[in-house]
């Protein structure tokens, strides 16, 4: 969204009938021009990365002073405009202690409320299995699979050796 040609390219893709998903840190979503483009030509989804639950941790992880405030402004503007939002919670060693607080952002009054799960998908990008398991134990998410992209790709292609596969349960 920081590219000066983003709006023109986005509109061209939209006019061509492409299903568009925007992945962003959210900092430009409060820009009136950007918001006008996205509300007039709605994307399939907008996924915002959440790098922390506090200004201190968010700005430290992104190494940009004011990044947290820009994220909150963008999230609020996009939500108020009724845009389809997902949050991608980025968990690292530096912000793992804020998992519950990052999750609470989705439940904040005025954004999503008690029915947030009906309107918001919380996605987790995790850089270490320890934090992935901690995330699962927190009961923030359920019914998910933690895997590396290499294992997921090999499985999808059918390249996993049969010796390492679990037998499928038989009906009966």
**pLDDT tens-digit readout, 91-108:** 888 888 888 888 777 666
Q: 37-41, 89-93, 111-115: which range is least confident on average? A: 111-115
d(CA 120, CA 99): 17
d(CA 39, CA 54): 28
Q: How confident is the model at residue 12 (pLDDT cuts 50, 70, 90)?
A: very high
Average confidence (pLDDT) over 10-21: 90
d(CA 117, CA 89): 15
Q: What order of strands is seen across the sheet that includes strand 45-50?
A: 21-24, 45-50, 85-91, 121-126
pLDDT attached to residue 162: 46
Going from N- to C-terminal start, the domains of the chain cover 6-12+22-141
Residue, of 71 and 102, whose pLDDT is higher: 71
3-class state of residue 109 by DSSP = coil
């Amino acid at each position: 969204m920081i590219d000066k040609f983003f709006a023109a390219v986005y509109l061209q893709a939209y006019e061509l009938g492409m299903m568009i998903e925007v992945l962003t840190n959210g900092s430009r979503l409060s820009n009136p021009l950007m918001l006008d483009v996205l509300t007039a030509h709605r994307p399939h989804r907008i996924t915002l990365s959440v790098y922390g639950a506090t200004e201190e941790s968010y700005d430290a992880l992104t190494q940009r002073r004011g990044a947290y405030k820009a994220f909150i402004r963008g999230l609020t503007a996009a939500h108020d405009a009724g845009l389809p939002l997902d949050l991608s919670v980025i968990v690292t060693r530096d912000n793992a202690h804020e998992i519950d607080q990052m999750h609470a952002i989705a439940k904040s009054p005025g954004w999503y409320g008690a029915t947030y799960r009906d309107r918001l998908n919380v996605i987790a990008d995790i850089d270490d299995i320890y934090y992935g398991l901690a995330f699962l134990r927190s009961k923030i998410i359920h019914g998910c699979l933690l895997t590396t992209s290499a294992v997921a790709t090999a499985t999808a292609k059918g390249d996993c050796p049969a010796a390492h596969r679990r037998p499928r349960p038989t009906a009966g």
